[in-house]
Amino acid sequence: MNILYGVLILLGLGVLLAVGIVLFSKIFYVKEDPRIDDVAKMLPGINCGACGKAGCRDLAEGLVKGEIKKVSQCKAGKKDKNYDPIIEYLSNHPDEDGTTHIPTI
Amino acid sequence: MSYLVAFLLAIISSTLIDNVVLSRFYGICSFIGVGNKTKSSIGMGLAVTFVTVFATIICWPIYNFLLIPAEIPYMDTVVFILVIASLVQIVGYFIKKKSPSLYKTLGIYLPLITTNCAVLGVVQGNTDSGLDFGMSVANALGTSIGFFIVIFLFACIRERLEGYKVPKALKGVPIALFVAGLMAMAFLGLQGVAG
């Protein structure tokens, strides 16, 4: 019986906190460049940190903004699986003002 | 009246005498990691203060009115981590919205507040030693103010250190560890101020 109570209490807390987080993420929503998410999806997504960034999403942001010039900074990536699609994607999707930051391999 | 005095004394004692970083060695990760710029150290201090105080305010009733009546107090660590992680996430959203530059400087250390043992240590310590709600909040407030003061002082010293000639092998983190050790010795002198 005790175990059931424990499970129910933890379940309740988890749901309550999850609802809280979702609410706050809606209240404090920050508009971001949608391309960052797209590029992040093309990276391996293992957040190894070998590129020197805090994670794959951080590297994707650097690539989109043109701060990072070489895709091969992502050590875990493969040429045909990760590098080529990112380069192709970034050459087809320019900034709002029309400039493109196309990284090389 | 005497409770108020005890409240203030608890704050002072956990701020200075029992300092969380320098005499209990909690929260060293973010102390070393973020304590190199005064601006980011202030942001970190504020974020940790917020998370610690609110985690205590939420966790104390959960422990005493939910876990103990249900006879599952051994689940406390799991529940506390859950609450702390959610709070950190919320603080993260808040900082990202209000100050993107601070969000950038805190970087990976912001989500790492979740695993900052200072936060869990305070919450766990409060319930383990059976403090009442007021004292728990006082302890949380004092500990996080102590963290704030020490990380800020540490950042000030490290910013000054950048202009000095340091032997090559000691540049960066090693000399920072020396500084932390000296600060710990200085804070040892405060022990015994209030009995």
* A38 and A80 part of one domain: yes
Residue B24 lies in a domain: yes
* A43 and A86 part of one domain: yes
**What is the arithmetic mean of pLDDT over A3-30?**
89
**What is the arithmetic mean of pLDDT over A62-91?**
85
Question: Could B72 and A2 be called an inter-chain contact, meaning their C-beta atoms sit closer than 8 Å?
Answer: yes
* A2 and A39 part of one domain: no
Domains: count for chain A = 2
Give the gap in angstroms from C-alpha A61 to the nearest C-alpha of chain B.
12
The CATH number given to whatever domain includes residue A70 is 1.10.15.40
Question: Could A10 and B75 be called an inter-chain contact, meaning their C-beta atoms sit closer than 8 Å?
Answer: yes
The domain in which residue B41 lies consists of: 2-188
Contact B51, B185 (CB under 8 A): no
**Using a CB-CB distance cutoff of 8 angstroms, which residues of chain B are in contact with residue A55?**
108
Query: What's the pLDDT at B137?
Result: 93
Nearest to A20 among B66, B75, B86 (CB): B86
* A39 and A85 part of one domain: yes
Backbone angles phi, psi at B119, to 5 degrees: -65, -55
How many CB atoms neighbour CB A58 within 10 A? 20
Residue B35 lies in a domain: yes
* A15 and A53 part of one domain: no
A15 touches chain B (CB under 8 A): no
Residue A85 lies in a domain: yes
Residue A54 lies in a domain: yes
The domain in which residue A14 lies consists of: 1-30
* A23 and A39 part of one domain: no
A55 touches chain B (CB under 8 A): yes
Residue B193 lies in a domain: no
Residue A21 lies in a domain: yes
Residue A100 lies in a domain: no
Nearest to A13 among B82, B97, B100 (CB): B82
* A43 and A60 part of one domain: yes
Question: Could B108 and A54 be called an inter-chain contact, meaning their C-beta atoms sit closer than 8 Å?
Answer: yes
Residue A58 lies in a domain: yes
Nearest to B90 among A10, A24, A54 (CB): A24
pTM of the complete model: 0.77
Query: What's the pLDDT at B73?
Result: 85
CB pairs under 8 A between A and B: 48
C-alpha–C-alpha distance, residues B192 and B184, integer Å: 15
* A88 and A44 part of one domain: yes
Residue A105 lies in a domain: no
Residue B194 lies in a domain: no
* A41 and A88 part of one domain: yes
Q: Which residue in chain B is spatially nearest to A10 when comparing CA positions?
A: B79
Nearest to B70 among A5, A14, A20 (CB): A5
Over residues B92-125, the pLDDT tens digits come to 888 888 888 888 777 777 888 888 888 999 999 9
A9 touches chain B (CB under 8 A): yes
Over residues B12-33, the pLDDT tens digits come to 888 888 888 888 888 888 888 8
pLDDT over threshold 80, residue A1:
no
ipTM of the complex: 0.71
* Cβ-based interface (< 8 Å): residues of B facing A: 62, 66-67, 70-72, 75, 78-79, 82-83, 86, 89-90, 93-94, 96-97, 100, 107-108
Residue A101 lies in a domain: no
C-alpha–C-alpha distance, residues A60 and B95, integer Å: 21
Query: What's the pLDDT at A83?
Result: 87
Residue A104 lies in a domain: no
* A87 and A49 part of one domain: yes
At residue A18 the predicted structure's pLDDT band, cuts being 50, 70 and 90, is very high
Q: Which of residues 32-51 of A touch B (CB under 8 A)?
A: none
More confident residue, B59 or A45: B59
* A50 and A66 part of one domain: yes
Residue B195 lies in a domain: no
Give the gap in angstroms from C-alpha B70 to the nearest C-alpha of chain A.
7
Domains: count for chain B = 1
Q: What is the largest CA-CA distance in chain A?
A: 64
Q: Which residue in chain B is spatially nearest to A8 when comparing CA positions?
A: B70
* Residue ranges, chain B, pLDDT below 50: 195
Helix (H) or strand (E) holding B31: helix B28-34
Query: What's the pLDDT at B193?
Result: 67
Query: What's the pLDDT at B194?
Result: 57
Question: Could B71 and A2 be called an inter-chain contact, meaning their C-beta atoms sit closer than 8 Å?
Answer: yes
Written in H, E and C, the secondary structure of chain A is CHHHHHHHHHHHHHHHHHHHHHHHHHHCCCCCCHHHHHHHHHCCCCCCCCCCCCCHHHHHHHHHHCCCCEHHHCCCCCHHHHHHHHHHHHHHCCCCCCCCCCCEC
Over residues A74-86, the pLDDT tens digits come to 888 888 888 888 8
More confident residue, A69 or B148: B148
